[in-house]
Structure 1
Amino acid sequence: MRLLQRLARPGGSTRLGGPAIATTPRRLIVEDTWAQTLIVTGYPRDVSAGWADPLLGYPGRCAVAAHIEPVAPEVAAHRLRRRRARLESAWRHETAHGRVEDVQAGTAAEDAAALAERLATGRGKLFRLALYITVYADTAPELAAETDHLRSLAASLLIDTAPATFRPLAGWISTLPLGTDALGQARSMDTDAVAALLPITSPDLDTAELGQTTVVWGTNTHSAGLVLWDRFTPGIDNHNMVILARSGAGKSYLAKLELLRSLIAGIEAAVIDPEDEYAALAEAVGGTRVAVGTPAGRINPFDLPAPAAEGDGDQEADQGLTRRALFIHTLIATMVGDLDATTAAVLDKAILAAYTGAGITADTRTWARKPPVLADLAHALREQGEAEGARLADRLHPYTHGAYKALFDGPTSLPLAGHLVVCSLRHLPEEASDVGMLLVLDRLWRRITDTAHVRPRLVTVDEAWLLLQNPVAAKYLQRMAKAARKHAAGLTLITQDVGDVLATDMGRAVAANAATQVLLRQAPQNLDAVTSAFQLSHGERQIVAAAPRGDALLLAGHQRVGVHALAAPHEDALITTSPEFTAAPSGRAAGPEEDGA
């Protein structure tokens, strides 16, 4: 008895019977919310990808449902034949009676003939598409105003709409996430027309030339579409990218998300990580983490490349040995300062002597032998019996037998190979940071220029302002930015010190050689420099001045689009470095809004 009384109440029973619903001829009242469903009855004849994004991304309270049902090929062919017969017979009847030709009927006949040809040749299929829009509001006047606004927007897109008169409940059910079409107001469309309706492209970013290395960045901040971008598309000048933002804007979050999805697309990646923020990501994807500055992260500058990577010709046989000798000159100069001509000549002879002592000569067949280390070079300097060599060996003592010998006391600990290599500089002493950075950059550059294994590669440099302050490292980055494209590679620079980057010649050169530029929220004192460097309009300047955390302005040549980083929960757990997230219980998703990077 009590159950019957509860169900008989005007408000209904949310526990047993669901929400209370009242209907009118055109509107529906669900609890305290008014709703009205519109049926799309007409579509524009010619459309392009993303044409319906203004409607699908309508900022008001509405639900858009598209019901797509494939039509069997034999049924599609039969219907098209009947449709073409009716249209052509009508046209012939009008012509026989001398009446003015119906342009719409002629156009419909041409479209039906073109569609029949595509179906017959297998270039498309036929679908039944039903599109419904349910508008919500708190009061009846608000619902009327919102409905009029939405119908005006639809009309501007050449979309005809009609209310679901006497069927408001069926219309509301058709827009719920149930997959049920209770109205049954479908139209026949081919594959291209249905695909153009789906919200899978950005109307502001041309995706026509994107290839297999395309990455989903997130959602378009000005529409409901997704932002997809391929840094290796042939349509852009190079594969480099710079990410500029103030501290806490979410730049590292966005960079890690792009890196993680690039790995899925089959791109090899390497990261220079000053703060060891990529350790969890490297471990999760089976990458290699090299802790530079520790015995486990030792890199031997005397390592020679595989002979096949240097070419098979006699003229190029000794280039690998020559390049190593030249690099060791640069490395020693970074350790002890500039060398005079006499000392440089002594060093050159000692380098060759160290290789000879290890049994390595210009003959590439000897390159597989164990290479010498820095202590062997110091020993060769002393063995020459010249004063300059002895003095240079003494100056190298901190790196051979002193405080920094962990960097060079032995062979390379881990090979810098694999789909992801993370070089952590956190354990590198500040006094030896220049030397450690130089070793890492040289090894990554050798990895990029490996002609035996050419494939798309990315090198990500986090907190790039640290390297740009170092003249030697900045020179390497500039060289990498200019020449990486020749080796199917791209350089990613992430920095928060925008003013210092754009104030130096090296920084401006690196930023100018990046075809893809990402600007998150900028500090007020950097707005003028960023606006001038990237030629931002007044509206774009306002976007980067007040962008929420996780929102960015993506610049790719003449194309510009706002993007919000969107990660799945398992991706978010790998790329979030916010202290609030790391201190939170496991299983909690932070998202870019909480990333402190």
Structure 2
Amino acid sequence: MTGYPREVGAGWLEPLLTYPGHLDVSLHIEPIPQQVAAMRLRRQLARLESASRSDAAHGRLADFAAEAAADDATDLADSLARGHGRLFKVGLYLTITAATEPELAAEVERVRALASSLLLDAQPATFRALQGWTTSLPLGVDSLRATRTFDTTALAAAFPFTSPDLPATAGESGVLYGLSATSSGVVVWDRYAQDNHNSVVLARSGAGKSFFTKLEALRLLYQGVEVAVVDPEDEYARLADAVGGTRLHLGAAGVRWNPFDLPASHGSQDDVLSRRAMFLQTLIATMLGGAKLTAQARAALDSAIIATYQAAGITRDPATWTRPAPLLADLVTTLTRKESEGQAGIELAAQLAPYVTGSYRELFDGPTTTHPAGHLTVFCLRDLPEEMKAVGTLLALDAIWRRVANPRDRKKRLVVVDEAWLLMKEPEGARFLFRMAKAARKHWAGLAVVTQDAADLLGSELGQAIVANAASQILLRQAPQAIGVVGDAFDLTDGERQFLLTAERGEALLVAGPASRIAFNIVASPAETALVTTDPAQLAELEQHDPPPHPPAAPPGAIQISEVHQDEESDPL
């Protein structure tokens, strides 16, 4: 490109990027040092001023193009002096490919016509075809050096991945969601640039909601964002193994989790013991089937929790918080003392018996075996029975929140709650998720709620509040029975409702307020697809071509212990 328009708007290169033929667009950008830019602007202003005075001295008519150039140069010099912008050398090159020479000539004419419509002057590199071809390759080498000086504003408008369909600009954590379904532009969205960092993903089963969520988490990991996932079906195993994440299989043999563990002291004056006691009340209410505790039962439970900690030597003194925490069995022992807790305590102890001596005791029968750590932490709940899924989700969210709320470890985080309806059907669990949605932004964290049951999420006031506190809302294909509830909740138009009813797998609608609504197709590379897909046919093909590696042999005389992977049919010894 040798000629450019005087003024451009955001995304003005999109017609070239969405050209239907085989067209490669190369944009080379080179910053100009501040001193060099200032010197060149002074020379340019001097030349323009000299020409203007010469014309006036000889009685010639005013050169309006020179006056416009002088005004632009003055504005650039002022912006540069104030530090509001910088200057860049920009080279824009197009490479056209065709099967035959006549087809190539026709394609060249069409591309030149398109460039002319954008007020771009396109000239062929007739005697420098080799240099032009190498310039268009992804090498970062500009062999043609046919550049034009751009300021910061003009360069930002020329950003190739700017979509005019999405007015909100992406920040430094922008993630590629896919291609626009209407204009074929690129959809880049930054949840951390919005009013809050939460999101809601709603879709029927098989529409691609887990695929999209894992893809966004993987691309956020590229940028150093710490991700924690509550995974009910162990769908994040391939992703966690590929990126070196940590997986905790709650409910697997040998895995223990003690809810009485106190978080490490962060140097704050908060009463950690009182906060832990309140969470334990929420947890036990969920264990008891979500039934609301009576005033007598809640009072007995609160005093029994404090007494259990005191029996273990843990008081409100922060110096005692590092001592070994008691177990759930110790709380039941305290509750059974009729003289201290009364009849309400005995009834609570009887209801907690399955978690201490019954079928569900294995998870709580001992101190915590593995503590969550790492850039990707996955809490797998597949090994838990259905009656324990809500309890496991609540335990995972509590462990995640301890890291999120640590003021000494402030960083961008994403908390993914897959199949959130498991927790939303429990009143105490729904309230805990609501509190996390309200407070996540203050700790630079985003909460991603993923569910296929819109009724459980939108059918309660807490669920509607969670949706209202999500600045990013992604809707995939919906069932006809749920489109009415979803359409009313998100204020969808008739066209948007029809799109969600007929959407194919991987087609989604991004809703971020009345001004930011765009339909897009989710796009992933083959390598990303291999890590995030849940399609059984694709997984079978991947396992056939790339079988899982065998674990390394243990040294002679060593005993190999696995906390995470356990074959149900094998001897645990």
- Per the alignment, do residues 92 and 296 of structure 1 end up closer, same or farther by CA in structure 2, a change over 3 Å counting? farther
Unaligned segments of structure 1, at least 5 residues: 1-39, 590-597
* Matches for 1:527-546 after TM superposition, within 5 Å: 527-546=483-502
Match for residue 186 of structure 1 among 131, 139, 146: 146
Identity %: 48
Equivalent residue number for residue 283 of structure 2: 331
Given that 2:177 and 2:216 are in contact with CA atoms closer than 8 Å, whether structure 1 keeps it comes out as yes
Match of 2:329 in 1: 375
Q: Which letter does structure 2 place at the counterpart of 1:561?
A: I
> Which residue number in structure 1 is paired with residue 18 of structure 2?
57
Deviation string 1:475-501 (CA, Å, 9 cap, x unpaired) is: 221221122222222110112223443
Alignment pair present for 1:584 and 2:559: no
State the partner residue of 1:508.
464
How far off its partner does 1:244 sit?
1.6
Q: Deviations over 1:58-87 (max 9, x none)?
A: 2x3242444748699899999878866665
Deviations 1:81-123 (A, max 9, x none): 8866665454334323434322122212444566678889996
| Cα pair 1:464 1:495 within 8 Å, conserved | yes
Distance 2:544 2:188 in 1: 28
SS in 2 for 1:270: strand
Q: Distance in 1 between matches of 2:324 and 2:509?
A: 50
In 2: Cα distance, 1:274 partner to 1:71 partner: 49
Aligned to 1:362: 316
The change in CA–CA distance for 1:405 and 1:115 in structure 2 (over 3 A counts) is: same
Distance 1:474 1:117, change over 3 A: closer
Assess, with a 3 A threshold, how the Cα gap between structure 1 residues 50 and 375 changes in structure 2: closer, same or farther: same
Letter in 1 for 2:23: A
Write the distance in 1 (CA, Å) between the matches of 2:500 and 2:242.
Answer: 33
* Distance (Å, rounded) in 2 between the aligned partners of 1:260 and 1:487: 21
Tell me the number of residue pairs that the alignment of Structure 1 and Structure 2 aligns: 537
Shift in Å, 1:371:
1.1
Q: Which amino acid aligns with 1:355?
A: Y
Larger Rg, first or second structure (1 or 2): 1
In 2, the alpha carbon distance for the partners of 1:418 and 1:90 equals 65
CA distance in 2, matches of 1:115, 1:425: 59
- State the Cα deviation string for residues 223-273 of structure 1 (Å, max 9, x = none): 56543322222xx32110011222222221111111122223232221111
Query: Could you tell me which residue of structure 2 aligns to residue 202 of structure 1?
Result: 163
TM-score in terms of structure 2 length: 0.80
Matched, 1:227 2:190: no
Indicate if the aligned counterparts of 1:65 and 1:175 stay in contact, CA closer than 8 A: no
Instruction: Indicate how the Cα distance of structure 1 residues 114 and 466 shifts in structure 2: closer, same or farther if over 3 A, else same.
Output: same
Matches of 1:546 and 1:140 in 2, distance apart? Answer: 41
Retained in 1: the 8 A contact 2:200–2:449? yes
Query: Equivalents in 2 of 1:406, 1:88: separation in Å?
Result: 86
Letter in 2 for 1:362: R
Aligned to 1:244: 202
Query: Deviation at 1:125?
Result: 4.9
Q: Shift of the alpha carbon at 1:583?
A: 0.7
Distance of 1:72 and 1:383 partners within structure 2: 79
Equivalent of 2:59 in 98, 123, 140: 98
Corresponding letter in the other structure for 1:531: G
Residue in structure 2 matched with residue 429 of structure 1 by the alignment: 385
Report the Cα offset of residue 170 of structure 1.
5.4
C-alpha distance after superposition, 1:541-583 (max 9, x if no partner): 4543444432322233332334433334433322122112211
Contact 2:191 2:472 in 1 (8 A): yes
AA at the equivalent of 2:233: E
1:499/1:42 CA distance change after superposition, 3 Å: farther
CA distance 1:103–1:525, shift in 2 (3 Å): farther
Indicate conservation of the 8 Å contact 1:304/1:371, yes or no: yes
Tell me what 2:417 maps to: 461
1:518 corresponds to: 474
Q: 2:25, 2:544 → 1: CA distance?
A: 32
| Pair 1:447-2:399 in alignment | no
> In the alignment, what sits opposite 2:517?
560
Q: How does 1:116-515 map onto structure 2 within 5 Å?
A: 124-125=86-87, 127=89, 129-132=91-94, 134=96, 153-160=114-121, 177=136, 186=146, 188-190=148-150, 192=152, 193=154, 196-206=157-167, 208=169, 210-211=171-172, 213-223=173-183, 225-233=185-193, 236-308=194-266, 311-312=268-269, 316=270, 319-336=271-288, 337-385=291-339, 386-515=342-471
Comparing 115-124 with 479-488, greater Cα deviation is found at 115-124
Instruction: Indicate yes or no: 2:532 matched with 1:570.
Output: no
Q: Please, what is the CA RMSD of the aligned residues?
A: 4.0
Contact kept in structure 1, 2:477 and 2:508, CA below 8 Å: yes
Tell me the SS of whatever aligns to 1:42.
Answer: coil
Q: SS state of the match for residue 247, structure 2? A: strand
CA contact (8 A) 2:25 2:93 kept: yes
Query: What is the TM-score of this pair, normalised by structure 1?
Result: 0.77
- Maintained 8 Å contact 2:227/2:414: yes
| Contact 2:26–2:136 under 8 Å retained in 1 | no
SS in structure 2 at match of 1:506: helix
* Structure 2 CA distance for aligned equivalents of residues 498 and 544 of structure 1: 14
